[in-house]
């Protein structure tokens, strides 16, 4: 967890060092909120932030930009959105809890053949059928 200095003007008790929520804890909290609210955020444009690229990702050519997931991507992963042309992964929400770590530490990184200037990350996350989920980036 990160620490930050307390804001000026706070009482003596409030001047204790405040703990800032880690990316993993924030993701878990938001994922639980998302699931509890019927797999949607009250703010329909809210995204899941899962950190900045690790050195491994930077070395593979991933730009140094925030890594995010949209609500649509998460709903597709858990099987709430199914399209004729691509199968949903049907990953249980409980298995997504490791996503911030898995994305930062992929097993394989390859160039995408369908999206120009994009990479495909292979992770260790398993879906309901125990198949590895591919996380496109």
pLDDT at 4 over 50: no
Q: Which two tokens stand for residue 61?
A: 């050519």
pLDDT more than 70, % of the chain: 74
Smallest CA-to-CA distance from 74 within 99, 52, 43 is with 99
| Domain edges within the chain | 12-105
CA distances from 87 to 77, 78, 83, 111 (A): 9, 11, 7, 21
Beta strands in the chain (DSSP E): 2-4, 18-20, 48-49, 68-69, 108-111, 119-126, 132-136
Alpha carbon of residue 114 to chain centroid: 22
| CA atoms in the 13 A half-sphere facing the CB of 76 | 14
Smallest CA-to-CA distance from 96 within 78, 71, 120 is with 78
Categorise residue 79: left if φ over 0, alpha if ψ from -120 to 50, beta otherwise.
left
State the Cα–Cα distance between residues 77 and 96, nearest whole angstrom. 9
- The whole-number pLDDT of residue 125 equals 76
pLDDT more than 90, % of the chain: 17
Could you tell me which residue, 24 or 84, shows the higher pLDDT?
Answer: 24
pLDDT at 10 over 70: no
Confidence of residue 136 (pLDDT cuts 50, 70, 90): low
């Amino acid at each position: 967890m990160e620490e930050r200095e307390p804001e000026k003007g706070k009482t003596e008790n409030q001047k204790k060092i405040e703990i800032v929520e880690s990316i993993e804890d924030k993701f878990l909290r938001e994922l639980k909120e998302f699931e509890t609210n019927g797999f949607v955020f009250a703010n329909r444009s809210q995204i899941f932030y899962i950190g900045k690229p690790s050195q491994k990702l930077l070395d593979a050519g991933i730009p140094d930009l925030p890594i995010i997931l949209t609500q649509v991507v998460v709903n597709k992963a858990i099987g709430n959105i199914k399209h004729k042309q691509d199968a949903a992964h049907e990953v249980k929400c409980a298995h997504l809890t490791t996503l911030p770590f898995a994305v930062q530490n992929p097993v394989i990184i390859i160039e995408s053949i369908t999206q120009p200037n994009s990479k495909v990350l292979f992770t260790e996350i398993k879906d309901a059928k125990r198949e590895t989920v591919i996380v496109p980036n």
